[in-house]
Homo-oligomer: A and B are copies of this chain.
Amino acid sequence: MRSVYWENDSLKMIDQRRLPSALEIVTYHEPRAVAGAIRDMVVRGAPAIGAAAAFGLALAAGGNAFSSRDELLRGLKEAAGVLRAARPTAVNLGWALDRMLARASAAQGSVPELAQAVLAEAQGIADEDVQINKRMAEIGAALIDDGDTVIHHCNTGALATVDWGTALGVIHTACEQGKHVHVLVDETRPRLQGARLTAWELEQYHIPYEIISDNMAGHFLQTGQVQKVFFGADRVAANGDLANKIGTYMLALAACDNDVPVHAVVPTSTVDLSIQDGSQIPIEERSQDEVLGLAFQGEPIAPAGARARNPAFDITPAHLITSIVTEKGVVSPPFEIHLREALSR
């Protein structure tokens, strides 16, 4: 089962806000609702929101009775603008939309034929994502040794992609190869994607894990209990700096301080060569309710009227990263040179 898929002329997605309590599928018929789902994190994970946005354009193309090719293209551009504005950090969103618009512009034929081509492109993005993830997982699994304990941040599994996942896909494939891997799952405050989603996936795969608070990673690294650190990314700059879920920077820093290798696993669609370094990546700040809306032993975690900050991503500088695993191979430093090389393969 995919986390994002097309069925009966509509987009279906797992509602990731309900997991692990309930596995619910939500159906979308028009692009504005898809943009809302991306913003509200019904769907999250850079590759998954790319695919969702692509299908959002397929809904735009198919749902309206456009009378001409130009009208259809205008409608797609407008829908792409709405979808693009949903979240700023993950480059896969813009990447998928640009690819969809280019395909639409290049397509010939009648309005229904164009709409068909747009849907086929969205389906292609989704199918490719699964293939790319499987390929990355094969490549990355070689970095994991039998008996490793790894720390994993956020969720990068089947839920964060169309299927299989990026960093969690690597761990999953290593386990399928017969390697024994123990995962320390960063709970990943504030939205707890680690505790809610990664732990749920690992339960399905029967991979042993323990949840830790994000601030515990340093202790386990410092006491020699961890051999590797794995995470995905939402955007990788040309120099290898990367934006990923908040907390990644402190995790990478602690790994580096203890000489533990740090592996980022990303499809090349997450690499943004138009951006030189991490300082240019926009960091989304989300509602303080995500930080404050917890209950601890049945009580609110903060006094009434408390304020909170909520940057959703941070920048991990390239010098803390051991390798960037892509579908084109394992990219090593200096990333300025090797990322460009990998992308041109």
A17 within 8 A of B: yes
A218 within 8 A of B: yes
A81 within 8 A of B: no
Is the beta-carbon distance between B315 and A222 smaller than 8 angstroms?
yes
Instruction: Out of B211, B220, B257, B300, name the residue touching A307 (CB < 8 Å).
Output: B211
The total of chain A residues at the interface (CB under 8 A) is 62
Minimum C-beta distance from A315 to chain B (A): 7
**B residues near A189, Cβ cutoff 8 Å:** 187, 189, 213-215
Is the beta-carbon distance between A254 and B246 smaller than 8 angstroms?
no
**B residues near A291, Cβ cutoff 8 Å:** 187, 211-213
**B residues near A299, Cβ cutoff 8 Å:** 18, 21
Instruction: Out of B17, B191, B195, name the residue touching A306 (CB < 8 Å).
Output: B195
Q: Which of A56-64, A196-204, A322-330 sits within the interface? A: A196-204
Is the beta-carbon distance between A302 and B199 smaller than 8 angstroms?
yes
**B residues near A257, Cβ cutoff 8 Å:** 253
Is the beta-carbon distance between B246 and A301 smaller than 8 angstroms?
no
Convert A294-321 into 0s and 1s, putting 1 for each residue whose CB lies closer than 8 angstroms to a CB of B.
Answer: 1111111111111111110011000000
Nearest B residue to A304 via CB reads: B20
Docked pose: A192 CA to B310 CA in angstroms: 16
Instruction: Out of B219, B297, B302, name the residue touching A20 (CB < 8 Å).
Output: B302
Nearest B residue to A189 via CB reads: B213
A184 within 8 A of B: yes
Convert A11-27 into 0s and 1s, putting 1 for each residue whose CB lies closer than 8 angstroms to a CB of B.
Answer: 00000011011000000
A190 within 8 A of B: yes
Is the beta-carbon distance between B211 and A250 smaller than 8 angstroms?
no
A247 within 8 A of B: yes
Docked pose: A212 CA to B21 CA in angstroms: 26
A28 within 8 A of B: no
Interface of A toward B, CB cutoff 8 Å: 17-18, 20-21, 184, 186-192, 195-196, 199-200, 203, 209-220, 222, 246-247, 249-251, 253-254, 257, 283, 291-311, 314-315
Interface CB pairs A-B, < 8 A, 9: A195-B306, A199-B303, A203-B306, A210-B309, A211-B308, A215-B215, A216-B310, A216-B314, A249-B254
Instruction: In the A-B complex, list the 8 residue pairs whose CB atoms are closest, starting with the nearest.
Output: A215-B247, A189-B213, A20-B303, A214-B215, A218-B250, A219-B314, A295-B295, A211-B308
